[in-house]
């Protein structure tokens, strides 16, 4: 007779054993009635949902402490302070000047930064990025390209590839970006580095696919549900498309977070000369990835430091959000912003994206010297509140020109500087002339009290 043991801690008295047992050993609530009838078939042990039934001697597995990925990350972060992870790579593109569109510059930047995975879905005006990468990855074996069935699949594959150790990116436009939101939040939750380029077009909905706008600013910063902070960059020209894409990959890898790059249709399709230096400083994370044998547990649910779910623990939730917030504060200490201000400024113009170039042209046309100051924000989140507050003089009026109905201005309003909006939503870039007349208007009315 073989010994049948039922672990009372595990048994839920469901009664499946009575249904399976061919010899009717078990009663309807899992009690052992006829142990002598047992034929040692082992079916009960295999099919008991709770694993409560043990038949005779069992092979025992030694309990091992699961290594926590976050603890390893901590160690790696410590090591990162001593310069681990950084390397100087030769850029894949030829050094020197290059005549290229903004989309092309993003591709060059991504490849030079070491991007090895691209998943995408065609969408105007971002399709060129996908086509270029498909061509590049097709010619060499430096990376993997896949065209997914939709943008949700694209960002999913990007997060998966990134978790498996590759630097990964995708590019899309407004409608696709909306579809991606849930899974961008997943990348935030699971500390997954990835780069998402959003080539903005005029919306809402399908809108005007071939026209520029800057209407995704709020969505890029606060689009995902829950508090899910992520880095948002906004280049103003092709050169910055190249530089900031490299920067985006480095930031993503250093801070283990998704990075959104906001360009627009005009930057994406405008061909300009950019300079490629030939050497790229690139960071590669040294945290464990899938397939390293670390038994990583990654979940989008609230989790403890070791990755195990904590779906109803208030402390775990608080700690997790604090960690995310603290990470953003650390990133915010290194803002990317062009400040060209002076205490004698009467007008300060704050802008981002393509509009910054119209602003520069307008200021140049007016030639008013120190009367006009400009601020160009290139890292939109974490938002450089302190830097802007310090730069604006007390008496200067603030103008915020934007290609939307007023999104950047909401952030500026937090600084209590009473900004003046200049919005244009006709699907065209803002002309320098309209900025000039807004500046003149401001100067006529006099300074702030």
Which x/- pattern, by CB under 8 A, does the window 359-398 give for another protein? ----------------------------------------
Contact flag: residue 292 with another protein (CB under 8 A):
yes
Number of neighbours of residue 43 by Cβ within 10 angstroms? 16
Q: Rounded to whole angstroms, how far apart are CA atoms 143 and 136? A: 8
Q: Compute the least distance from the CB of residue 326 to another protein, in Å.
A: 24
Q: Which residues contact 86 (CB under 8 A, 6 or more apart)?
A: 281, 282, 283
Between the two ends of the chain, the Cα-to-Cα distance in Å is 96
Closest CA to 228 of 325, 156, 304: 325
Do the beta carbons of residue 401 and residue 435 sit within 8 Å? yes
With CB under 8 A as the contact rule, the residue among 299, 306, 393, 436 that binds another protein is: 299
**By CB under 8 A, what part of segment 224-263 binds another protein?**
none
- Closest contact distance (angstroms) between CB of 76 and another protein is 18
Shorter beta-carbon distance to another protein: residue 67 or 340: 67
Q: Which is nearer to another protein, 45 or 101 (CB)?
A: 45
Q: How far is CA 252 from the centre of its chain?
A: 8
Which of the ranges 34-42, 120-128, 267-275, 317-325 carries the binding residues for another protein, by CB under 8 A? Answer: 34-42
Least Å distance, CB 296 to another protein, is 5
Q: How far is the CB of 431 from another protein (least distance, A)?
A: 42
The interface mask with another protein, positions 161-180, x = CB under 8 A, is xxxxxx-x------------
| Nearest distance from C-beta of residue 192 to another protein, angstroms | 10
Measured at the CA of 250, the angle between CA 245 and CA 251, to 5 degrees, comes to 95
Distance in angstroms (rounded) separating the CA atoms of residues 290 and 163: 6
Q: Which of 32, 72, 298, 328 binds another protein (CB under 8 A)?
A: 298
Q: Among 42-50, 329-337, 425-433, 440-448, which window interacts with another protein (CB under 8 A)?
A: 42-50
The minimum distance between CB 232 and another protein, in angstroms, equals 21
Closest CA to 400 of 441, 347, 444: 347
3-state helix/strand/coil string of 164-206:
CCCCEEEEECHHHHHHHHHHHHHHHHCCCCEEEEEEECECCCC
List strands edge to edge, sheet with 420-423.
337-340, 372-377, 347-351, 397-402, 420-423
Nearest distance from residue 103's CB to another protein, in Å?
A: 23
User: According to the binding rule CB under 8 A, does residue 43 interact with another protein?
Assistant: yes
List b or e across 338-358, with b for residues whose CB sees 16 or more CB atoms inside 10 angstroms.
ebebeeebbbbbbbbbbbbbb
Q: Which of 96, 138, 204, 291 binds another protein (CB under 8 A)?
A: 291
CA max distance for the chain: 103
Residue 7: Cβ within 10 Å count: 12
Kindly state the number of chain residues that form the binding site for another protein, as judged by CB under 8 A: 70
State residue 395 phi and psi, 5-degree precision: -95, -10
| Interacting span for another protein (CB under 8 A) from 72-80, 291-299, 327-335, 352-360 | 291-299
Cβ–Cβ under 8 Å, residues 115 and 93: no
Convert residues 113-152 into a mask of x (bound to another protein by CB under 8 A) and - (unbound). ---xx-x------------------------x-x-xxx-x
Q: Give me the least distance between CB of 446 and another protein, in Å please.
A: 54
Type and span of the H or E element at 248: helix 238-255
Q: Does 19 bind another protein (CB under 8 A)?
A: yes
The mark string for 200-219 relative to another protein (x by CB under 8 A, - otherwise) is --------------------
| Least distance to another protein, CB of residue 448, Å | 47
C-beta neighbour count of 393 within 10 angstroms? 16
Chain positions 50 to 109 lying near another protein, rule: CB under 8 A, are 50-51, 55, 58-61, 63, 66
Among 23, 89, 309, 413, binds another protein (CB under 8 A): 309
- By CB under 8 A, tell whether 8 contacts another protein: no
Dihedral class, residue 191 (left if φ above 0, else alpha if ψ from -120 to 50, else beta): left
Residue numbers at the binding site for another protein (CB under 8 A): 9-10, 12-16, 18-20, 22, 28, 40-43, 45-51, 55, 58-61, 63, 66, 116-117, 119, 144, 146, 148-150, 152-154, 156-166, 168, 182-183, 186, 290-301, 308-309
């Amino acid at each position: 007779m073989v010994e049948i043991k039922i672990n009372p801690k595990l048994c839920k008295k469901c009664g499946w054993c009575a249904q399976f047992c061919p010899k009717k050993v078990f009663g309807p609530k899992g009690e052992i009635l006829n142990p002598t009838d047992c034929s040692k078939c082992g079916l009960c042990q295999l099919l008991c949902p709770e694993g409560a039934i043990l038949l005779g001697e069992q092979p025992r597995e030694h309990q091992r402490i699961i290594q926590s990925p976050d603890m390893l990350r901590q160690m790696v972060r410590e090591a990162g302070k001593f310069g681990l992870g950084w390397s100087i790579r030769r850029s894949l593109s030829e050094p020197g000047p290059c005549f290229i569109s903004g989309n092309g510059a993003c591709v060059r930047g991504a490849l030079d930064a070491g991007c090895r995975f691209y998943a995408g879905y065609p969408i105007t005006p971002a399709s060129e990025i996908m086509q270029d990468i498909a061509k590049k990855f097709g010619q060499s074996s430096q990376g993997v390209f896949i065209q997914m069935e939709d943008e949700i699949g694209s960002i999913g594959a990007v997060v998966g590839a990134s978790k498996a150790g590759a630097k990964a990116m995708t590019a899309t436009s407004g409608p696709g970006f909306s579809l991606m939101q849930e899974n961008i939040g997943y990348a935030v939750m699971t500390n997954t580095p990835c780069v998402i380029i959003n080539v903005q077009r005029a919306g809402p909905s399908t809108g005007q696919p071939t026209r520029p706008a800057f209407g995704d600013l709020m969505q890029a910063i606060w689009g995902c549900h829950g508090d899910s902070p992520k880095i948002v960059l906004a280049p103003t020209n092709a050169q910055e498309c190249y530089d900031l894409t490299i920067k985006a990959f480095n930031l993503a890898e250093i801070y283990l977070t998704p990075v959104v790059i906001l360009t627009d249709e005009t930057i994406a399709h405008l061909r300009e000369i950019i300079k490629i230096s030939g050497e790229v400083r690139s960071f590669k994370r040294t945290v464990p990835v899938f397939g390293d044998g670390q038994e990583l547990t990654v979940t989008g649910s609230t989790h403890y430091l070791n990755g195990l779910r904590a779906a109803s623990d208030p402390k775990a939730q608080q700690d997790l959000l604090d960690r995310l917030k603290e990470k953003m504060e650390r990133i915010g200490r290194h803002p990317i912003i062009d400040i060209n201000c002076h205490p004698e400024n009467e007008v300060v113009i704050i802008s981002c994206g393509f509009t910054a170039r119209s602003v520069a042209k307008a200021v140049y046309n007016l030639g008013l010297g120190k009367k006009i100051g400009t601020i160009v924000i290139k890292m939109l989140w974490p938002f450089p509140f302190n830097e802007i507050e310090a730069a604006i003089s007390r008496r200067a009026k603030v103008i915020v020109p934007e290609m939307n109905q007023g999104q950047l201005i909401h952030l500026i309003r937090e600084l209590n500087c009473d900004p003046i909006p200049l919005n244009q939503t006709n699907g065209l870039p803002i002309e320098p002339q309209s900025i000039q007349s807004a500046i003149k208007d401001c100067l006529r009315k006099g300074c702030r009290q």
